[in-house]
Amino acid sequence: MSQSGIGIAVTGSGSAVPIHSLDNDKLSQIVDTSDEWIAARTGIRSRRLATPEESLTTIASQAAQGAIAMAGLTPMDVDLIILATSTADDLFGSACQIQAELGAQKAVAFDLTAACSGFVFGLVTAAQFIRTGAYRTVLLIGADVLSRWVDWSDRRTCILFGDGAGAVVIQANDRDRLLGFELRSDGTQNQYLNLACQPQPYDLLEDLTIGRGSFQPITMNGQEVYRFAVRRVPEVIEKALFRANLTVEDVDWLLLHQANQRILDAVGERLHIPAEKIISNLASYGNTSAASIPLALDEVVRSGKIQPGDTIAASGFGAGLTWGAAVFQWGR
Ligand code: UT7
């Protein structure tokens, strides 16, 4: 519990994905790959892809509406909107457009970029605003449309990613349901996963050349990212559990960033968490970056699998490099 005596509770969830799906067989028509290879190496079978008309703002707003409704609130009750994304519709940020779309006039809104760790970083950020007494109701959205930035001729990366959005409502609560967290960053390993600006030289004056904006597609060293995840994720979860004064036996659900089934399995094995406690929906959606944790959470909440009071160990990891874990209980 914070010094102010104010705790936090996660009281609603929602999610939304684009209509069009691309399964592994169809993907094999685009690059030299196969359903067997992708399923065996990643567990992914299909992914959703946004059309040019389906903006990040649209799917993020849909996810947000679901979360606000589940919490029994209206958009006017929201004090703060945090949009965790690396693929905003606008480099200046998309959170304000979502605020307008929802009609959440009272809310202040900003984007937060921490790649696939964005949801966990956002959850902890939201908790700080609530625990200090600054805000009482936060809408946290994790949403990404990485399909816009994937090199569709690179079979090592394009098979992994999909588009989607997930959201939660986080409210001030007498009992603090965020039990522990740990966030980490390591910029020295930044080169392993990039969606980097690639400025094009532009002669503004005879003696002044500036860089005009454009981005190179996602580049990744898959093996290095894999090694990093399998080593660092169990570590950071154990640290968050330690801060929560809990052990792995207290965890009801392991909710990892949905990057690769082999990573989920390896982390579960290292932590001795049985497969039935590991939430996985990446077969249907692939890696949806900041959306993957709230999207998977919303599915299990709506299916009735997760019950109020269940203890969830959530962990995100990815570009930056960034990684982090948050241990929280669902509901008030
Ligand atoms: O949010 C975090 C995002 N990133 C991740 O989570 C990525 C973590 N890394 C991974 O998930 C895995 O490294 C991958 C799934 C990306 C790759 O799996 P891998 O077991 O590390 O495969 P690899 O890169 O070692 O490639 C093995 C072979 C290579 O062939 P050779 O050189 O052994 O002949 C690749 O050329 O598989 C080949 N290959 C493919 N074959 C068919 C690579 N991609 C494909 C493909 N289809 N899509």
Structurally, the chain folds into a number of domains equal to: 2
User: Closest by alpha carbon to 136, among 176, 81, 79?
Assistant: 79
Domain of residue 51 covers 7-178
281 counts as catalytic = no
Q: Same domain for 19 and 164?
A: yes
32 CA distance to ligand 1 middle (Å) = 13
In a domain, 208, yes or no: no
Pairwise CA distance, residues 249 & 227, whole Å: 25
Average pLDDT, the chain: 97
Q: Same domain for 185 and 140?
A: no
Over the stretch 4-13, which tens digit does the pLDDT of each residue have?
899 999 999 9
* E strand or H helix that includes residue 66: helix 56-70
In a domain, 83, yes or no: yes
Q: Same domain for 184 and 143?
A: no
131 burial (CB, 10 Å; 0-12 / 13-18 / 19+) is: buried
**What are the respective helix, strand and coil percentages of the chain, to the nearest 5?**
35, 30, 35
In a domain, 197, yes or no: no
Q: Same domain for 125 and 228?
A: no
Ligand 1 pocket test target in 260, 263, 265, 293 with most atoms within 8 Å of CB? 260
Question: Going by CA atoms, what residue is nearest to atom 2 of ligand 1?
Answer: 318
What does the pLDDT read at residue 1? Answer: 64
The pocket around ligand 1, CB under 6 angstroms, is made up of 33, 37-38, 41-42, 116, 155-156, 159, 220, 222-223, 225-226, 229, 259-260, 287, 318
Single out the residue in 178, 201, 226 at which a domain terminates: 178
What does the pLDDT read at residue 83? Answer: 98
Whether this model's pTM surpasses 0.85: yes
Residue 3 has pLDDT above 80, yes or no: no
Q: Same domain for 15 and 163?
A: yes
Q: Same domain for 18 and 163?
A: yes
Q: Which of 24, 158, 173, 257 is catalytic?
A: 257
Q: Same domain for 133 and 60?
A: yes
Residue 118 · residue 91 · CB < 8 Å: no
Taking residue 258's Cβ as centre, other Cβ atoms within 10 Å add up to 30
Please compute the mean of the pLDDT values over residues 117-137 and round it to a whole number.
98
Question: Going by CA atoms, what residue is nearest to atom 6 of ligand 1?
Answer: 259
- pLDDT band for 307, please (50, 70, 90 cuts): very high
Burial 195-217 (b: 16+ CB within 10 A, else e): beeeeeeeeeeeeeeeeeeeeeb
Residue 255 has pLDDT above 80, yes or no: yes
152 CA distance to ligand 1 middle (Å) = 15
116 counts as catalytic = yes
Which are the contacts of 110, defined by CB distance < 8 A and separation ≥ 6? 81, 82, 83, 93, 95
Over the stretch 137-193, which tens digit does the pLDDT of each residue have?
999 999 999 999 999 999 999 999 999 999 999 999 999 999 999 999 999 999 999
Q: Same domain for 321 and 229?
A: yes
CATH code of the domain in which 232 resides: 3.40.47.10
3-state SS assignment for residue 204: strand
In a domain, 202, yes or no: no
Q: Same domain for 44 and 153?
A: yes
What does the pLDDT read at residue 215? Answer: 95
Over the stretch 53-87, which tens digit does the pLDDT of each residue have?
999 999 999 999 999 999 999 999 999 999 999 99
In a domain, 196, yes or no: no
151 CA distance to ligand 1 middle (Å) = 15
What does the pLDDT read at residue 19? Answer: 97
Parallel, antiparallel or unpaired: strands 80-84 and 108-112 = parallel
52 burial (CB, 10 Å; 0-12 / 13-18 / 19+) is: exposed
Single out the residue in 178, 199, 230 at which a domain terminates: 178
222 CA distance to ligand 1 middle (Å) = 6
What does the pLDDT read at residue 2? Answer: 73
In a domain, 257, yes or no: yes
In a domain, 206, yes or no: no
The tokens for 41 are 């190496």
Please compute the mean of the pLDDT values over residues 114-143 and round it to a whole number.
98
| Angstrom distances, CA of residue 168 to CA of 81, 106, 332 | 10, 18, 13
The tokens for 260 are 């690769």
Q: Same domain for 115 and 158?
A: yes
Single out the residue in 117, 152, 178 at which a domain terminates: 178
The tokens for 193 are 């996963």
Please compute the mean of the pLDDT values over residues 15-28 and round it to a whole number.
98
In a domain, 60, yes or no: yes
96 counts as catalytic = no
Q: Same domain for 149 and 281?
A: no
Q: Same domain for 162 and 270?
A: no
